[in-house]
Amino acid sequence: MIHTYWLETYGCQMNIAESNALELQLKGAGLIPAETAEQADCAILNTCTVRKSADNRIWGRLGFFAHIKQSKPLTLIVTGCMAERLQEELKDQAPQVDYVIGTNDKQRIVNILTSIDGKMDEHNQSYEFGTSYYQEGEYSSFIPIMNGCNNFCSYCIVPYVRGREVSRPVEDILAELAFLDERGVKEVTLLGQNVNSYTYVEEDGTIINFPKLLRRICAQKNSIQWIRFESPHPKDFTDELIQVIKEEKKIARHLHIPMQSGSTRILSLMNRKYSREQFQLLIEKLRIADSEITFSTDVMVGFPSETEEEYQETLSMLGMMRCLEAFMYYFNPREGTKAVDMDQQIGEEEKSRRLSALIEYQHGIMAEEKQKRIDRQAVVLVTQISKHDTSCMLGRTEHNEMVVFPSNAKIGTMLTVELQQLVGNTYKGRAV
């Protein structure tokens, strides 16, 4: 009989949100989170497969749980994107795994654990959104609004493991927003693999695109202060969306916009569907709409056939964006994607060199941009007591900056802080 569970989550924010929804269901069914993996009756791994390193981490954890199963009964479930991609391989090479459950079947895990014979219902052919993705006690929460991707970037496995795009009903999104408001949530992040391609047709035939959805969300009367969204695709960043961001002040002035490359030729090989010039124009339009907007981005180097000159174009685009954050990596071939078989694959040593130089360059930009913000005031969402000084609180600004400051403010409150000093990537400040 299964009484306790252990849940591990790997990868993107969507996986985190889906694990939150699963945990609500597990607790609702009477299951209790175990204090350690060794004490659990069931272990659930919600996996990622975007990069090979993610796969390697899971294979290592499967060895750990195989060792546990030698000494005690344990139901082991692997779900998520790696499970979707490697279903048969996991069944063959990891006999310690009891259930391999793809991305569309996460909702059925509770049925497996609470049914008498442990059998799983028939495979679900379409993605099902949860009722809520709330994590108890949090003041910042995720709201998945769409799932899947239709873009098929040549390097990306996501469309194959997440499937085609499907958008969540507007009323369900607004209902969850009200639910989160009742629990004191101050910040929500709308999630989707291609979040700004959201499109929902209401019963009366009205088409709600992403800008219209944002309007409806911002029109709700609640105590939620910041609306964020990730990850948008530059090709779907319309003038209508820019106008909504300009006018709706609940939308946080910090935007994550994946660049990937600064070279038009490489972007074309990636099947990104925009050029260097189009991406640069998008950033310029956003800055004109609101000069306070800051950016984060995703950047890949070492894509097949990328020349040194094209790599330098990526560096120059980063110099133009002036990001406060960047998620930087080199090309990692994934089986089943077109980029795996492209000519002129770049060696690991050269990819590592380019990435190291890129990281150093971006860190310099980040330090310069953060220094500019010293002596300014910022609204901060208090997130926790400082681990280094219990007389101080740690908070996060609208621009996703971490600030530590002397205060006895409650976690989850919002207050104004003056940014006085930068230590590493964290500001020291004082409550105003």
CATH of the domain at 159: 3.30.750.210
Residue numbers of the domain that contains 85? 4-114
CATH of the domain at 401: 2.40.50.140
pLDDT of residue 125: 64
In this structure, the answer to whether residues 98 and 195 fall within a common structural domain is: no
* Packed helices 170-182 and 210-219: angle between N→C axes, nearest 10 degrees: 30
Do 103 and 152 have their domain in common? no
The pLDDT value recorded for residue 68 is 93
Residue 257 DSSP label: -
d(CA 378, CA 381): 10
User: Residue 10 and residue 409: Cα distance in Å, rounded?
Assistant: 32
| pLDDT per residue rounded down to tens, the chain (432 residues) | 678 999 999 999 999 999 999 999 999 889 999 999 999 999 999 999 888 888 899 999 999 999 999 999 999 999 999 999 998 899 899 999 999 998 888 878 988 888 755 555 555 667 889 889 999 889 999 999 999 999 999 999 999 999 999 999 999 999 999 999 999 999 999 999 999 999 999 999 999 999 999 999 999 989 999 999 999 999 999 999 999 999 999 999 999 999 999 999 999 999 999 999 999 999 999 999 999 999 999 999 999 999 999 999 999 999 999 999 999 999 999 888 999 999 999 999 999 999 999 999 999 999 999 999 999 999 999 999 999 899 999 999 999 999 999 999 999 999 999 999 999 999 999 999
pLDDT at 119 (0 to 100)? 55
If one counts the domains in the chain, the total is 3
135 and 241 co-located in one domain:
yes
- Asked whether residue 235 is assigned to any structural domain, the reply reads yes
Q: What is the pLDDT of residue 415?
A: 95
Classify the C-alpha dihedral 262-268-273-274 as positive or negative. positive
φ, ψ (nearest 5 deg) of residue 74? -155, 125
The answer to whether residue 335 is domain-embedded is no
Q: Is the same domain home to 22 and 90?
A: yes
What Å distances lie between residue 293 and 85, 324, 349, 427, CA to CA?
38, 11, 36, 19
The verdict on residue 351 lying in a domain is no
Could you give the CA distance from residue 378 to residue 432 in angstroms, rounded to a whole number? 10
H/E segment holding residue 428: strand 426-431
Pairing assessment for the beta strands 294-301 and 254-256 based on DSSP bridges:
parallel
Contacts of 348 (CB under 8 A, 6+ apart): none
- Whether residues 77 and 163 share a domain: the answer is no
Q: Is 204 among the domain residues?
A: yes
CATH number at residue 17: 3.40.50.12160
What gap in Å lies between CA 187 and CA 181, rounded to an integer? Answer: 9
Place of tokens 């895990």: 109
Beta pairing, strands 226-230 & 187-191: parallel
In a domain, 227, yes or no: yes
User: What whole-number distance in Å separates Cα of residue 57 and Cα of residue 47?
Assistant: 9
Question: Does 336 fall in a domain?
Answer: no
Asked if residue 314 is part of any domain, the answer here is no
Domain boundary residue, one of 88, 114, 140: 114
Return d(Cα 127, Cα 165) in angstroms, integer. 9
Which segments within 199-340 are labelled E, that is strand? 199-201, 207-209, 226-230, 254-256, 294-301, 325-330
Q: Same domain for 70 and 14?
A: yes
Q: Which of 90, 114, 138 is the last residue of a domain?
A: 114
In a domain, 64, yes or no: yes
As a whole number of angstroms, the distance between CA 46 and CA 8 comes to 6
Same domain, 146 and 221: yes
Distance of CA 350 to the CA centre of its chain: 28
On whether both 141 and 209 belong to a single domain, the answer is yes
Angle between the N-to-C axes of helices 239-247 and 210-219, in degrees from 0 to 180, rounded to the nearest 10:
10
- Residue 97's alpha-carbon distances to 60, 61, 94, 179, 347, in angstroms, are 13, 11, 6, 36, 35
Output the pTM of the full model: 0.90
> Phi and psi (nearest 5°) for 418?
-90, 125
Contacts of residue 212, Cβ cutoff 8 Å, sequence gap at least 6: none
Please check whether residue 145 is in contact with residue 192, taking contact to mean a CB–CB distance below 8 angstroms: yes
Helices (H), 33-169: 52-69, 81-85, 87-93, 109-114, 158-162
Do 109 and 133 reside in the same domain of the chain? no
192 and 98 belong to one structural domain: no
Last residue of a domain, one of 252, 273, 290: 252
Residue type for position 290: D
